[in-house]
Structure 1
Amino acid sequence: MNKEVTQLFNQWQSGDQAVQEQLSQLIYQELHRLASFYMQKENQGHTLQATAIVNEVYIQLNNQNLNVNNRQHLFALVSNMMRRYLVNHAKTKLTQKRGGDWSKVEINSEVDGQQLNLEQLLDFDEALDELAKIDERKAQIIEQRYFGGRELEEIAIAFDISESTLHRDIKMAKIWLMEKMS
C-alpha cells in the first residue's frame, strides 16, 4: 500500500484532482491500521476506540491547510496528531472528578517494556518534548514508532538512516526518556 499511496500522492501533488478520493480512502485505511496497531497494546477496559482516533485525526487533516511534501511527511504529521490526541485524552481522563465510575486507563507505550498509565503518559509526553529540544530526530523517531505505529524500515527510510543507526537512536532515546521520567 505504501507505494500506491506514494504514487497517488505524487499524482495529486502534480495537480491530478481525480485521484483525491482514492488517496483519501487509502490514507484513511492506513490511519486505521496505525490506530489499530496502537490499540492492540491497550489493556482491557480502555475507553478509546481505533475508529474514534482515526476519525479525529482524519478530521484534523481535512480541516487544516497543511503543506505536505511527501508520504513520509504526511505520516510524520499523522504520528504527531495521534500523539496529541492520546495525550489530550489522558489529560481529560485525569481531570475528571475522582471516584464514581472513573477507571484507570492503562496505556502501553512499550518504552523499554514498561506500561504507562495516564499520568505516566503525560510525563512521557513532556519528556519527549524535552528530548525534541536536545535531539529532534530521536524524538521524532520515538513519536513515529510508538504513537504512529510505523515500522522500523519505514522510519529508517523516512530519515535516510541505516537500520543500525535507527536502533542506536531508539536505544539512546529510551535511555534518556527513562532517566528523565524516573
Structure 2
Amino acid sequence: MSAPLTTLLNSALAGDAAAAERAWTEVYAEVRTITANAIARERGVLAGDGDLHPTALVHEIFLRIGRNPPRSWDSRRHFFGAVSQACEQVLVDLARARQTLKRGGGKAPVPLTFVAGELMHADSARAAADVGLPAALDALAREYPRAAEVARLRYMMGFPTAETARILGVSESTVEKDWAFARAWLRRELDRGA
C-alpha cells in the first residue's frame, strides 16, 4: 500500500528524494490533465502561443510551488489549492504578457458572464487575466475561504463537482451551494468594478 500524498509531500519537503519522486509520479498525470483543460479554456487569449503545452505548464506550476513551499502540507486539499493558485498565476502572467504585446489591439473588453448556472466566458483567459477577477477571488477568499477554493477548483482548474468535493473533504451539495454563492459574489464584485 502506498503512502498518502500528504505524507509523501511532507517527506519530500524534508529532503527525501524518493518521496519526492513518488509524489511527483502520483500527481503528475492528474495535474497535467488539469493544465490541458485550463489551456483549452484559455485558447482565445493564449492563441498563437505555440510554446504553451500542458507539460510546460505543469513544470512551471511545480517550479513556482517549489520556490516558495509551505512549511508542511496539511492535506491533498492544501496541495491542490496551491496547484490551483500557481496555475492561475501562470496563466494570468502569460495573458498579461500577451496583452502587453498587443497594447490594446483594438479589441473591446469582453465582460465576464454567467450562463446556465456556470461561470462561463467566451474568452476565459481574458477574464482570468483581467485584474478584477484575481482581486475579486482574493477578496472572496478573505471573507469566504471555502467558496473561493471551490471557485478556483471549479473554474480555474476545471474540476467537476465530485472531484472538488473529494479534494475539499465536503459533500457535493456543499460544493454546489458554495459554487452558486461564489459565482453570485464574484459577479457582484466584478459588476462593481466595471
Q: TM-score, structure 2 length as denominator?
A: 0.73
C-alpha distance in 2, partners of 1:172/1:99?
33
1:63 lines up with 2:67 in the alignment: yes
Please list the CA deviations of residues 95-143 of structure 1 after superposition, one character each: whole Å capped at 9, or x if unmatched. Answer: 225378x999x9x998533324555332222221222222121111101
**1:142 and 1:170 in contact (8 A); partners too:** yes
**1:41 and 1:109 in contact (8 A); partners too:** no
**1:128 and 1:177 in contact (8 A); partners too:** yes
C-alpha distance in 1, partners of 2:28/2:75?
16
C-alpha distance in 2, partners of 1:115/1:40?
12
Structure 1 SS opposite 2:174 = helix
User: Which residue does the alignment assign to 2:37?
Assistant: 37
Structure 1 SS opposite 2:158 = coil
User: Which residue does the alignment assign to 2:120?
Assistant: 113
Residue ranges of structure 2 left out of the alignment (5+ in a row): none
CA spacing shift, 1:179–1:46, aligned 2, 3 Å: farther
1:93 lines up with 2:113 in the alignment: no
CA spacing shift, 1:116–1:176, aligned 2, 3 Å: farther
User: Which residue does the alignment assign to 2:133?
Assistant: 124
CA spacing shift, 1:125–1:70, aligned 2, 3 Å: same
**1:124 and 1:181 in contact (8 A); partners too:** yes
Number of residue pairs matched by the alignment: 176
CA spacing shift, 1:79–1:46, aligned 2, 3 Å: farther
State the 1:58 CA deviation.
Answer: 1.6
1:10 lines up with 2:12 in the alignment: no
CA spacing shift, 1:161–1:27, aligned 2, 3 Å: closer
User: Which residue does the alignment assign to 1:181?
Assistant: 190
User: Which residue does the alignment assign to 1:75?
Assistant: 80
C-alpha distance in 2, partners of 1:113/1:98?
25
CA spacing shift, 1:20–1:178, aligned 2, 3 Å: same
User: Which residue does the alignment assign to 2:23?
Assistant: 23
CA spacing shift, 1:26–1:89, aligned 2, 3 Å: same
Question: What one-letter code is carried by the residue in structure 1 that aligns with 2:4?
Answer: Q
**1:80 and 1:148 in contact (8 A); partners too:** no
Question: What one-letter code is carried by the residue in structure 2 that aligns with 1:70?
Answer: S
State the 1:87 CA deviation.
Answer: 1.4
